[in-house]
Every structure is written in C-alpha cells, then in structure tokens.
Amino acid sequence: MILKKKKKFMILSCMAIMLMFGATMPVSAADTPSNGYPSISYGNTAWSNYYPNPIVIQNNQWNQMGYDLRYDGWDKDTFVAVNSTASVSLTTTSTSQYTISGSTEFGIKAIAKVTINGEWGESWGKSTTVTYNAQAGYTYELWSANQIKRIYWSYPNGSTYLSAKSEGSNGTYKWFFRY
C-alpha cells in the first residue's frame, strides 16, 4: 500500500513539473543553428546510388530488386538579423506525392502500397518550425525536403520480364544553419 502511494506521488509530481515548465522552452532546448552551409545543395533532386536487395528472384511474383533515394518538395525560410538580437521562428512546408510507374499487372499496386503508408497519388509531407534567439550580424536559414525512396520491382514470367517503380516517403528532413 505504501509503495502504491509513493508511485502515485512520483507520477503526480512529474506531471506537475511538466505542466509548470512544459509550456515554456528553456534556452538550452531551443533549436540551435549550425555554422555554415550544409553539405547538400538547396533544391537538389538527383537520385542517390542504387542499393540492391540481396534476394533470390522468384518467378511469377513481384520481387523488390533495390532502391535509391532523392530529395523533393524543397522549401526554405530566411531571417537576416541586421543589427539587433531577436527571438525568431522560421517555418517550412515540404510536400510530395506517392507514385507508381511501369507495369501495373499482377497486383503490383497492392503489393507496393504496403511500402508507402498512403494512397497512390496522395500528397504527403510536413511543416517544420524552428524557434531560436537570433544574434545580430547573421543570416539564418531553415531548409526542409522530403526524402523519396524509389523501389525497383521485377516480375519474371517465363519469357516475359515486367518492371515497375514505386515512390514513397523516407521521411522529411531539415537543415537549420547560419552564416
């Protein structure tokens, strides 16, 4: 009985602390920009290297052969702190679509749909916001982009070889920096 009361007290104490301090963000928890430009170029939509799947190819069924990645849905927000410090928020929104191309025979739409967490043609993405204390003399930028994962499919069927590609979400990424 005493142990249950201690446990309840600890839980209620933690909840009270979260309620008191959760609405304000301490300076140490604010977003911190990196110094200088990121290693990726803004707006880059080139496909990365191809990553093959080590599989044994099965006849008369769809096989996931491998994948590659690229960024899409780029957005950026900029703030120039000319001569004074300020508390600032920057926001970006990245959107992309789930797509499938190539052969659509033998149920590939249903099979590939498992890998996308959405519907074909549906938009996906998210908004990103950073809040920070800008120092005078710097330009601050927030970039965001969706990472697209393109999966290569093959369907060997005797003398026929069908292929398809599906494109889905591999997450939304952000780069926050100053220069």
**CATH number where 162 lies:** 2.170.15
The residue range of the domain holding 131 is 58-179
DSSP state of 110: H
Report field, pTM of the whole predicted structure over 0.85: no
Task: Tell me if 65 is assigned to some domain.
Answer: yes
Q: Which helix (H) or strand (E) holds 14?
A: helix 2-21
Whether 11 is covered by a domain: the verdict is no
| pLDDT reported for residue 31 | 85
125 lies in some domain: yes
pLDDT in the model for residue 117 = 78
10: in domain:
no
Q: For the chain, list the strands marked E by DSSP.
A: 34-35, 51-52, 63-81, 86-97, 99-102, 123-134, 138-157, 160-178
User: Is residue 136 included in any domain, yes or no?
Assistant: yes
Q: What is the pLDDT of residues 59-96, one digit of tens each?
A: 999 999 999 999 999 999 999 999 888 899 999 999 99
In a domain, 179, yes or no: yes
Domain count, the chain: 1
pLDDT value of residue 2: 56
